[in-house]
Chains A and B, each alone.
Chain A
Amino acid sequence: MGRDPRLILILVALSLTACGGPQSALDPAGPSAASLHRLGIIMYVGATLVTLLVTALMLVPFLRPRERSVNRNLFLWGGGVALPLLTLTALVPYVMTVGHETRAATTPQQVSIDVIGYVYWWDVAYRRPDGSRGGAAANELHVPVGEPVELFLHAADVIHSFWVPSLAGKTDMIPGRVNRMVLQADRPGVYRGQCAEYCGLQHALMAFDVIAVPRPEFDAWLARASQPTGQPETPELRQGRDLFVSLGCGACHAVRGLSEARLGPDLTQVGSRRTLGAGTVPGGVGNIAGWIASAQHLKPGNAMPSYDQLEGPQLRALAAYLESLK
């Protein structure tokens, strides 16, 4: 038993140092995550001290048997009542003042995004100043660095939960309700998020990226996302576009200027996405082809059928066309 306090100390120390990773609450990159992390550290230290105290107290009688009877009041009033009462009377008011950033007010100049959870992917739509649906994306949120971004969280089918640990805590997406939260990234970078409420078969494969870039870059990106895609330039790409139409891809997917359906992810800029299938495989033309041919193998149970009847050249053309959408 003696080595366990030390084990705890080592592990606590580890947890505070080895905290990297693209999805770590221990490596905060935004004001909300930072204040929660600060609260966490206070509580880790306090908890470690109490654990050490209790462990030591319970081992003492075995190391040094006593003759006198115990001071009951010290244990019951001191340890049982005073210790939790005093520490928590200090901690609880502090806790009450932490984390209000995620419910803060924002100005109309700032970015507002509707994020809608579907089984098992994320629809992302930027609100125009008039509130209508502007540029759209899927499984990727582009945000300007250093600005609070307002999110409206919806669910299309079952409950999901929106969570980017490096930036802020999670907020559920509940059918019939719209939850609002404010998110801010202080450093440019890619922050991974993942659905945190069990939502069915492929809950594990429902991730997304938050890509924080400087404001001008963000504006440029949003402008591209709001424009129709251009005409394909090579015969292969044109064949790919025709296949997109003839296979009925547009029945589910939107490609701005070509189709408007929203049953599946918006593909307007799918060529530039870091991942496919909400974090299932990395992006790129090869994986696009692989996904089209065997989506049910890569992520069984998702809404996309496997188009395994396509000939090689057809598949390549379709993938190349999609990869050209950036």
Chain B
Amino acid sequence: MTLTLDSPGPQPTGELAPRVAPVLFPQSSGRDGLERLEAVWALPKRFAFVTEVNNTHLGVLYIATGFLFFLGAGVLSLLMRIQLAYPGLAFLDAGTYNQFFTMHGTVMMFLFAVPIVEAFGVLLLPALLGTRDMPFPRLSALGYWCYALGGTLVFASLFFNIAPDGGWFMYPPLTGPKYSPGINTDVWVLGLGFVEIAAVAAAVELVVGILKTRAPGMTLGRMPILAWYMLVTAGMIMIGMPAVIAADILLELERAFGMPFYDATKGGDPLLWQHLFWLFGHPEVYIIFLPAAGMVSMMLPTFARAKLVGYTWLALAAISIGFLSFGLWVHHMYATGLPVLSLAFFSAASSAIAIPMGIQVFAWIATLWDGKPVLRVPLLFILGFLFIFTVGGLTGVMVAAVPYDWQVHDTYFVVAHFHYVLIGGMVFPVFAALYYWTPLVTGRMLSERLGRWAFWLMFVGFNAAFFPMHITGLRGMPRRVYTFPDDVGWNWLNLISSVFSFVFAAGVLVFLIDFIRHRRSGPEAGYNPWDAPSLEWLSHGADYGFRSIMPIRSRYPVWEQEGLKEDEIGGRGFLPDAPTREREALVTGPITGEPEQIIRLPGPGWTAFLAAAATAIALAAGTLKITAIALAAGAVAAGAYLYWLWSMDRLAPRGLADAGRGVALPLYTNGSRSVGWWGMVVLLISDAAVVASFAFAYLFLWTARPGSWPPDGSQIPGFLAPVLLSAAVIAAFILFETADRMNQRERRRDTTLCLGASAVLAIGAAVAGWFWLRGLGIDPTRHSYGAAVWTLVGTMGLHLVMGAGMALWCTVRLHLGMINSWRCLTLRICLLWWRFTAPVTVLVLLMIAGFPHVIS
């Protein structure tokens, strides 16, 4: 819907613009425009900084918080290494040690690794994509504050001796109600809950941001390579996180309500947890690795002084890894006694991932060969990454071999392997990134000399601490042991590992000292200190990012687009002003990057912070069983979320607004052009993955306990009730569709009627479903069958109730004049919910009713 005033090129789409359109909100590239821009994007003063929602600002906080968790979990590992320095030491007792290794793994994975790589995306992507901000800044703020507040609560559990102690992958039945009656396990579930909120929030923001808020002209093929990596990562979070969310929900249902999903004495199966956990847990490793690989791919051209060799290859390697990584989860279950054929499928799939991995490594090396590399500190860390990660990848090929893994699984060999992969594949690139991008944030350079010290201490310390662990493992030492006997031959190896772990820590300490020092005495960075080719260096310093949004014609705009900096500073790009006195951004087409719309973004506000804080307090109080506080905080959180939802889909003038450069764009769009529509699609994909996980649980529990199904003495479901229920659900859906049609014709009464009837039918179906299951005598606590059926039907019931709530929501807004034929995004987004809910509910009913008949 681009409407050009002086038509510089062919009309890309849609209806032709009138040559002279009345244009709203004219942009000024002069002094007054700059002043408005500065005022609108200014950071709130003092404590009000918690109200800031700008992604670039949040990215800095995010990285700092993640780094603090890294230091905390690192200290735990040093304490553990002291305990293991010599056989039979009593420096830590068994209980403390078990809490420490559980927290080390949990914090490093969930509170450091995943958040910090997403944080780099949140910090860098707006600038890399050439936009001022991504489309849902409040969502990012919610994610960050949930993570920061919730993560702190979880970490603090260590000081009260209630930290989780079941290992970071928390296998039931050890973590079930019988063998872990304390709240330690609940603290873990709580911590994961926060991370899930933060991760899914960031994923929505990143996917929609990358697809919809790029600079004009930035086609898919011109995106900075990090955007490809982050897009794949965010997609993986969308699909992978829900599996562990589902596993968590089932575990909490078992712990709190006795629904026996994992309890073998009642038809449950501990392997269900392992499947769901690793269905997320294996992609998790790549969720951590891919952004790091993307950052390496961003930094390499700068230091190689050459463009990336094989940009397309790297993009397709990232996509391939994203997909193939979901075919590896049984990788972690080779010793569980599954049929060897099943294991072998995963072994072959694990091997296939070596090809995109090889492509990446050789593309990076070729880039170095192609240029004249300059060995600065970030490149040093990248070389360290290449070496360590190669070793980790090769031991990865080893553990992917089923029979070999039978020896090394759950030993120190695996400990060595995944530290090579994670420290090599993620920590070293993150340090490279910290050295590289710190000047962008602080305006000063870190020390080259101290940087080299930090690198060599970390590199030597790391290899000398972790390489011996391969041998320790092969000589029989299992992981997660708090002590070991002195006659098995592990003494020297452990002592070496312990000593050099402190050398590694010294390297981190040198970085910290350097960082604190550089804030005062580091040399000024100036504009583009590394002479990098990418856009983020254009936006140096200011809260508003770019002076104006530049059209992009190259993958390496700063190197290749003549006069880019001058035009940007001169306000000759898009949006050089903030005429609405609000934060504005351009929305562009996902594939071609043509400008489609100007959106107005929320500025500083308390909603996100309040919602996050109340959620954190409610969940923590719920875990500690302080019901009054939990309820009060929950009410505050609910209020904040409702207010938030209500404040979306704001009124925008109907005319076209000036976007600069002679282009006029609409301020409001309905349907698939709007960012809200894309956000909902992403959320629904995640939601579908949760429902699919529950369906998997139902089917898997059957394979674990074949025979009579239902086994709990209840009746086999008939078909009449499901058919009636399906009919009601489909009718509710069609009514919702009709409401949208009626609204298009401005028939408000009919719209209201349709919405009301839809809500009534949806609620009716949910209630009838409840009576149906009760009538069949299905008990959720007697057997895993009942637990699985109730969970599935309950989930769909919840969807119906939500759908009914949406109908009422729309009705209210309709009558307040906030929905009409032109402004109907809310209605359209709710309609998406129904387009998902109705068919899935029918499928679920079909499975519940049909499956017992199929197998009997």
Contact = CB atoms under 8 A, between A and B. Distances in A.
Nearest to A27: B475
B522 interface: no
Contact of B310 (A76, A175, A203): A76
A301 to B, nearest CB: 7
B794 to A, nearest CB: 25
B747 interface: no
B351 interface: yes
A122 B375 CA distance: 57
Nearest to A75: B366
Given A36-B403, A51-B390, A279-B485, A26 B474 contact: yes
B264 interface: yes
B849 interface: no
Contacts of B480: 198, 203-204
B351 A92 contact: yes
Given A19-B475, A47-B397, A99 B351 contact: no
Interface string B166-177: 110001011000
Interface string A76-108: 101111011100100110011011101100000
Query: B344, B360, B365: which has the most chain A beta carbons within 10 Å?
Result: B365
Query: A59, A96, A180: which has the most chain B beta carbons within 10 Å?
Result: A96
A85 B368 contact: no
B98 A201 contact: yes
B337 A174 contact: yes
A245 interface: no
A11 B403 contact: no
Contact of A84 (B93, B94, B354, B365): B354
A185 B477 CA distance: 20
A179 to B, nearest CB: 3
Residues of A in contact with B, size category: 35 or more
Contacts of B391: 8, 47, 51
B370 A172 contact: no
Given A24-B474, A81-B359, A65 B372 contact: yes
B265 interface: yes
Contact of A159 (B173, B361, B488, B490): B173
B383 interface: yes
A33 B407 contact: yes
Contacts of A229: none
A197 interface: yes
B390 A54 contact: yes
Interface in B331-362: 335-337, 340, 344, 347-348, 351, 354-355, 357-362
Contacts of B386: 54, 58
B358 A69 contact: no
Interface in A100-140: 100, 102-103, 119
B387 A159 contact: no
B484 interface: yes
B845 to A, nearest CB: 29
Contacts of B487: 22
A6 interface: no
A159 B398 contact: no
Nearest to B347: A95
A24 B476 contact: yes
B704 interface: yes
Contacts of A195: 478
Interface stretch (B464-472, B666-674, B691-699): B464-472
Contacts of B704: 176-177
Given A43-B401, A51-B390, A76-B366, A36 B407 contact: yes
B358 A7 contact: no
A207 B271 CA distance: 24
A200 interface: yes
B220 interface: no
Contacts, number: 285
Contacts of A99: 340, 402-403, 406
A62 B375 contact: yes
A14 B369 contact: no
A100 B480 CA distance: 29
A172 B336 contact: yes
Contact of B354 (A58, A62, A65, A88): A88
B174 A199 contact: yes
B398 A92 contact: no
A197 to B, nearest CB: 6
Contacts of B271: 174, 177
Contacts of B383: 1, 58-59
A72 B310 contact: yes
B395 interface: yes
A36 B480 CA distance: 24
B365 A57 contact: yes
A39 B397 contact: no
Contacts of B479: 198
Interface stretch (A161-169, A246-254, A305-313): A161-169
Interface in A191-236: 192, 194-205, 207
A314 interface: no
A20 B471 CA distance: 11
22 contacts: A15-B471, A21-B475, A23-B489, A25-B408, A36-B406, A39-B404, A40-B398, A47-B395, A59-B383, A70-B369, A81-B355, A84-B358, A102-B406, A161-B410, A165-B407, A174-B271, A192-B488, A194-B476, A195-B478, A200-B179, A201-B98, A279-B485
Interface of A: 1, 4, 7-8, 11, 14-15, 18-26, 33, 35-36, 39-40, 43, 46-47, 50-51, 54-55, 57-62, 65-66, 69-70, 72, 75-76, 78-81, 83-85, 88, 91-92, 95-96, 98-100, 102-103, 119, 153, 157-159, 161, 163, 165, 168-172, 174-177, 179-181, 192, 194-205, 207, 279, 300-301
Given A43-B397, A80-B313, 15 more contacts: A8-B391, A11-B470, A39-B403, A43-B404, A59-B383, A61-B372, A84-B354, A98-B401, A159-B270, A161-B410, A165-B475, A172-B335, A175-B270, A199-B174, A279-B485
User: Lowest 6 CB-CB distances: which A-B pairs, in order?
Assistant: A169-B406, A176-B264, A99-B403, A23-B476, A179-B337, A21-B489
